[in-house]
Amino acid sequence: METLPNLIGGQWSTSSASEKSPVMNPSRGDQIAEVPMSSAADVDAAVQAAQKAFPDWRETPPNERAQVMYRLKALLEDEFDELAKGISREHGKTLIEARGDLRRGLEMVEYACGAPTLLMGESLENIARGIDCHTDRVPLGVVAGICPFNFPALVPMWMWPLALACGNCFILKPSEKVPMTMQRVAELLKKAGLPDGVFSIVHGGREAVDALLEHPGIEAISFVGSTPVAEAIYKKGCLHGKRVQSAGGAKNFLVIMPDADPEPTAAALRDSAFGCAGERCMAGSVAVAVGEAGNRILPGLVDIIKGMKVGPTDGVDQPDMGAVITGAHRDRVNELISLGESKGGKVIADGRNAKVADAPDGFYVGPTVIDEVDYGNDIATTEIFGPVLSVMRAKTLDEAIAAANKQSFGNGACIFTTSGKAAREFRHRVSAGMVGVNVGVPAPLAYFPFTGWNQSFYGDLHMQGREGVQFYTKQKTTTTRWFSFGEGDIWVKD
């Protein structure tokens, strides 16, 4: 069984830790590798190597740093299909979804190619007579990123392409469940000409994360994962004097108005709730049907679901939906469906005990719809992170907005309608940072920030876009005055 090495100072090195964690192929339920649960000593070695690399990388002109990103983009395009297959294998998502995961990540590399422009400061002449002022954006130093399992390419690439382009050194702690994609990308970064020590990987779990949070040599932490961990990381990182951006879980509400166009709305609901087997922080999780909307849309959605093929994603024939990440997660999703049913929900499409003949040991849950869910039912507010759509009923848009705003998360919220007035009202009043109007997964692209709110985000500056640049840089403001020309300045004055 392959044990993945850490990447420290540009060298692949064996962790000092004896504890390992399995990496699975969820489609088959087979173990494909293992990762070390790295120790504080491993983290310290990575920080020291990064600190050594930082002074030269910081002085490397932004356009030269951008050239590394241009070369990396070309290398990623060359290996695109192989990388997508790897994502699919370690995560279980379909090849189309894996390609989307990588494409969105690659767009962050493209965005980072604009480093010279993104890093430009501001200036103003004559803030007082003969005095000028300008700002520079300078890198922070060594920064670290801690990632979840659900986007093996995209989420790490929300972080390091911009961090590196801004002149920082970066230490990545990938999800222990999907560590292989970034392992390969790290090799491509080296091939693209990134100097040793500028990008490091330390595999592991809590011990490695704690060591990153506590290490005085690390200036900033980017985290993406579940809300309890996101909140704890934010607090601990701040306590240790670090800049922290920490994205948490979600419960995204999809409001369907009676005037919504039934066919495209049903298709959008399917993609939102069941794409990536529901393991998306922007997945639609609760549909709130206003008035007659439920009766108009739900039968079509259930019909679509009946035609969906669930199965292994590591073969030539691709299913519509793959496995969930682990056996334990499959069991938890099944338990939550049963809990929802026991609290009065009506299961109108049941994915529990999904059987896949050619992959009997894979971790499958079929697409599930639970109607008649209300706030008395735990599944209305719990993040399930599986292919489960709960349905609530509301009499009015007001009621639907109140339902969407009652829960504690605030990542995404969507409305399906043909009324501009209803859409505007919803966009204005819903308490979520990313809104979709007839769009089921309103995840912004690289050049916009990924603006989660409430318990979906802790911090001030989000990932992606200009906020990402702001997060990975600090500003230096210089005020300049030159005293009146001395007698010797014959070259300046007539």
For residue 287, the tally of other CB atoms under 10 A from its CB is 30
**Torsion angles phi and psi, residue 387, rounded to 5:** -80, 65
Closest distance of CB 291 from ligand NAD, Å: 30
139 vs 452, beta carbon nearer ligand NAD: 452
Report the nearest approach of ligand NAD to the CB of residue 483 (Å).
Answer: 52
3-state secondary structure 303-339: HHHHCCCECCCCCCCCCCECCCCCHHHHHHHHHHHHH
Task: Establish how many alpha carbons lie within 13 A of residue 407's alpha carbon, considering only the half-sphere containing its beta carbon.
Answer: 28
> At closest approach, how far in Å is the CB of 287 from ligand NAD?
18
Minimum separation from the CB atom of position 108 to ligand NAD (A): 14
**Given 3-state DSSP classes, what are the helix, strand and coil percentages for the chain, each rounded to the nearest 5?**
40, 20, 40
With CB atoms as reference, the residue minimizing the distance to ligand NAD is: 225
List the one residue out of 81, 112, 114 whose CA is nearest residue 99.
81
* DSSP H or E stretch at residue 411: none
Gap between the Cα atoms of 305 and 274, Å rounded: 9
> Which residue, 15 or 456, has its beta carbon nearer to ligand NAD?
456
* DSSP secondary structure letters along 112-127: HTTHHHHT---EEEEE
48 in helix, strand or coil? Answer: helix
Catalytic one of 113, 166, 276, 281: 281
* Choice between 227 and 377, CB closer to ligand NAD: 227
> H or E segment at 477?
strand 473-481
Q: Are 403 and 254 in contact (CB under 8 A)?
A: no
Residue whose CB is less far from ligand NAD, 318 or 470: 470
Name the burial class of residue 259, with classes exposed (0-12), middle (13-18) and buried (19+) by CB atoms within 10 angstroms of its CB.
Answer: middle
Kind plus residue range of the DSSP H or E element containing 45: helix 40-59
Q: With respect to ligand NAD, which residue has the nearer C-beta, 364 or 450?
A: 450
Q: Yes or no: say if 475 and 137 are a contact pair by the CB < 8 Å rule.
A: yes
Min. distance of Cβ 443 from ligand NAD in angstroms? 9
> Smallest distance from the beta carbon of 178 to ligand NAD, in angstroms?
8
176 vs 314, beta carbon nearer ligand NAD: 176
Q: What are phi and psi of 200, to 5 degrees?
A: -130, 155
Structure tokens at 315: 């073969």
Kindly tell me which of 129 and 206 has the beta carbon lying closer to ligand NAD: 206
Q: C-beta of 96: minimal distance to ligand NAD in Å?
A: 19
Residue with Cβ nearer ligand NAD (140 or 230)? 230
Interface residue list for ligand NAD (CB under 6 A): 146-150, 155, 173, 175-176, 205-206, 209, 224-226, 229, 247-250, 281, 383, 385, 411, 450, 452, 456
Q: How far is the CB of 468 from ligand NAD (least distance, A)?
A: 13
Vertex 404: Cα angle to 401 and 410 (nearest 5): 125
**For residues 19 and 36, what is the distance between their CA atoms, to the nearest angstrom?**
6
Please state the closest distance from residue 84 (CB atom) to ligand NAD, in A: 19
Q: Which is nearer to ligand NAD, 209 or 389 (CB)?
A: 209
C-alpha to C-alpha distance for 337 and 351, rounded to whole angstroms:
9
DSSP string, 50-61: HHHHHHHHHHS-
**Among this protein's residues, is 281 annotated catalytic?**
yes
Distance from chain centroid for Cα 88:
17
**Known catalytic residues?**
281
